Structure 1
Amino acid sequence: MKLPGHDAIARQADEHLVTHRVKLPRKLVDRPIRQVAKRLAMAMLVLVVTVVVVYVDRAGYHDSADQTVDLLDSAYYATVTLSTTGYGDITPVSDSARLTNILVITPLRVLFLIILVGTTLEVLTERTREEWRQSRWRSTLRDHTVVVGFGTKGRSAIQTVCVTGLKQQQVVVVDPSSKAIDVATAEGYAGVIGDATRSEVLKRAEVHRARQIIIATQRDDTAVLVTLTARQLNRSAKIVAAVREEENAPLLKQSGADAVITSASAAGRLLGLSVLSPAAGMVMEDLIQQGSGLDIVERPVIKAETGRSPREIDDLVVSVVRGHRVLGYDDPAAASLQLTDRLITIVRATPGTQVTPDIRPLPQD
């Protein structure tokens, strides 16, 4: 299946692809160019100090060319000495010059080599170290959450599920933009750069071992393709997708999405509700925001609640989930709760409380 605009999306994704498609969160460090510049500056400082030391004690050195050692000769001697080239045309002849070479020049030479060799080794081992980190990350990644698209919807969805107790290490972001992935890794999430409509990109995110997949792309046709690909790779994961147009929601469900959120319609309904009743709009906004004020959560029925009606439960029950059906609290079928039921309740948010994730992406323009 190939929808209009797919080729353009693929080309755009290719423009953003880089050599390392998987980026893991790491501590903030200087950029490689800045690190090299710092070490180069240190090496130049060592060279300058060596030149000064030789020039101050220039009377103790002998130049086979013109018998005298000036500033240029001191720089020349310092350069060939620190680089261990050692042509021998300028040599220390006095006791003080030789002692200075033993106690000062030799340690400076060792320091100079350490700086250069250290930089070379770091460059050579960086890729090996990164590959080892990725291999270890893949081996430990299980039952994680894959978020496709790190725009407003994707970031809001991640924040919501993380408030409910999901760890940042269990979130993998997929986005064709390297800048978006840089932001994601800076916030502590692993990132995969690439077009999520391609199975090889989703495999890099270990989507076949994910527990839940959130699809928050900018285009509806892209969301359909990503859903099809993700469902093909993972038959058991819970897939929640967002679309802009309501008419595309059935297509997403047919493609394998368990739940579809229409962002444009949801935002419009919230606007309309706020016009009719600003207080009601504030309450709905509060319910959407997990971790503050009132939260809407899903939890299992406990033994003590079996056989009771939703009205008799201490929590404010909104709906009862029985199998694949969602029953209203006043539905006669939900009059007697079963142990296998799940309750959708409204509770007061308390810091540090972890609840079953209830994935509901926030409305987006």
Structure 2
Amino acid sequence: MIHLPLVRQGPLRALAVRMVAAVVLVLLAAFVIYADRDGYRDVNEDGLTMLDCFYYAVVSLSTTGYGDITPVTPDARLINILFITPARVLFLIILVGTTLEVLTDQYRNSLRVSRWRRKLKDHIIVCGYGTKGRAAISALLETGYDKSRIVVVESREVALRQAAANGLVAIEGNATRSAVLLQADVKNCKSVIIATDSDEASVLISLTVRQLTAGQVRIIAAVREQENAALLKQSGAHHVIVSSSTAGRLLGLTTTTPPLIDVVEDLLTPGQGMALAMRSAERAEVGRNPRELHTLVVALIRRGKVVALGGEHAETIETGDMLIYIRDENNSVAVH
């Protein structure tokens, strides 16, 4: 099931509201009739009881009208003209409106899903909307990624509602199943982020994605244990982040050299202070040493591999290199 971002109340809630309105209308009509019960004649000629009033209200509002109870006094007939007849019209509007509302919602939702599928391309699938999944999406949004190109796959109902409330498209189901990933159009996506709470589930998701896409989709995964990282890479993940060891290293840095953790957080937080960024090498920079540039370059990406700077061998920039540099977010310029 696909949960698009919430824009209005659901059909079940609308149905409940209309049912309550219909019941209130029947109760009000029954009490009005009971208050003027002497103005009505029953075929049994034994007077109207409260049950008779409810019966008359229901058959009148539903336009059944058996004729066994009829208004005979001018006051009773005036009440039928001024109250019962408008209430009957309102009751029919509630019933017909409920049916039309449900059908319209279903059609509108199908139309929105079809329109969403037509526009869906080069999107990112996030498997899991827990702490890691939400943080990954926040990082994507902070870097300017379009929210409409993010698809969440989650099986927990609470997480699904939260994702939809945050304006994200969420697909209900287990990401280890091929049918669920195909519903998210995994074959045409840009990358898959695996942020589940289980390393076993992460491995199964990675295997499933690799099988469905023939290894053409980039897979980024997080695992809890270091020993599972190699297994996840063997299953098809291109990048694996070990959350436990990474957190442990940060804890160690905080203990021994507290200022370093502030620098790391600053670099990883877009929009403030310093931030890591990447760009293509310009033509005028080819053949030069990265240390000679005004931009503070910390590494090069060459043919998909990281080229560290430093050491005895001086690296020069080649055509097609990507530069990893530090940018000053406050001034929107590179740090020199």
The one of 152, 164, 167 aligned to 1:188:
167
Query: Does residue 242 in structure 1 map to residue 257 in structure 2?
Result: no
Separation of aligned partners in 2, 1:153 and 1:261 = 11
What is the 5 A alignment of 1:220-239?
220-234=199-213, 235-239=215-219
Where does structure 1 differ by over 6 angstroms across 4 or more consecutive aligned residues? 331-334
Shift of the alpha carbon at 1:348? 2.2
Separation of aligned partners in 2, 1:229 and 1:51 = 62
Q: RMSD over aligned Cα, in angstroms? A: 2.7
Larger RCO of the pair (alpha carbons < 8 Å, separation 6+): 1
SS of 1:344's equivalent in the other structure is: strand
Separation of aligned partners in 1, 2:319 and 2:65 = 85
Shift of the alpha carbon at 1:175? 2.5
| Structure 2 counterpart of 1:359 | none
Consecutive unaligned residues of structure 1, counting only runs of 5 or more, are 1-20, 354-365
| Structure 2 counterpart of 1:320 | 300
Tell me the alpha carbon deviations over residues 154-203 of structure 1, each in whole angstroms, 9 at most, x when there is no partner.
Answer: 21111111111112221111223233222222222222222222221211
The one of 275, 278, 298 aligned to 2:255:
275
Shift of the alpha carbon at 1:309? 2.7
Letter in 2 for 1:144: H
Separation of aligned partners in 1, 2:116 and 2:171 = 13
The one of 69, 80, 83 aligned to 1:104:
83
| TM-score for both structures, normalised by structure 2 | 0.87
Query: Does residue 24 in structure 1 map to residue 4 in structure 2?
Result: yes
| Structure 1 counterpart of 2:329 | 349
**Alpha carbons 2:5, 2:168 under 8 Å: kept:** yes
| Structure 1 counterpart of 2:282 | 302
Separation of aligned partners in 1, 2:299 and 2:65 = 85
| Structure 1 counterpart of 2:137 | 158
Shift of the alpha carbon at 1:327? 1.5
| Structure 2 counterpart of 1:79 | 58
Count of aligned pairs between the two proteins: 331
Query: Does residue 211 in structure 1 map to residue 190 in structure 2?
Result: yes
Consecutive unaligned residues of structure 2, counting only runs of 5 or more, are none
| TM-score for both structures, normalised by structure 1 | 0.81
**Alpha carbons 1:320, 1:334 under 8 Å: kept:** no
Closer/same/farther in 2, CA of residues 331 and 130 from structure 1, 3 Å limit: farther
| Structure 2 counterpart of 1:50 | 29
What is the 5 A alignment of 1:61-80?
61-66=40-45, 68-69=47-48, 72-80=51-59
**Alpha carbons 1:318, 1:345 under 8 Å: kept:** yes
Moved more, 266-275 or 287-296: 287-296
SS of 1:142's equivalent in the other structure is: coil
Shift of the alpha carbon at 1:56? 4.8
| Structure 1 counterpart of 2:94 | 115
Closer/same/farther in 2, CA of residues 198 and 30 from structure 1, 3 Å limit: closer
Separation of aligned partners in 2, 1:70 and 1:176 = 54
SS of 1:292's equivalent in the other structure is: coil
Moved more, 236-245 or 298-307: 298-307
Separation of aligned partners in 1, 2:314 and 2:53 = 93
* Percent of aligned pairs sharing the same letter: 47
SS of 1:49's equivalent in the other structure is: helix
Query: Does residue 255 in structure 1 map to residue 235 in structure 2?
Result: yes
Separation of aligned partners in 1, 2:141 and 2:157 = 23
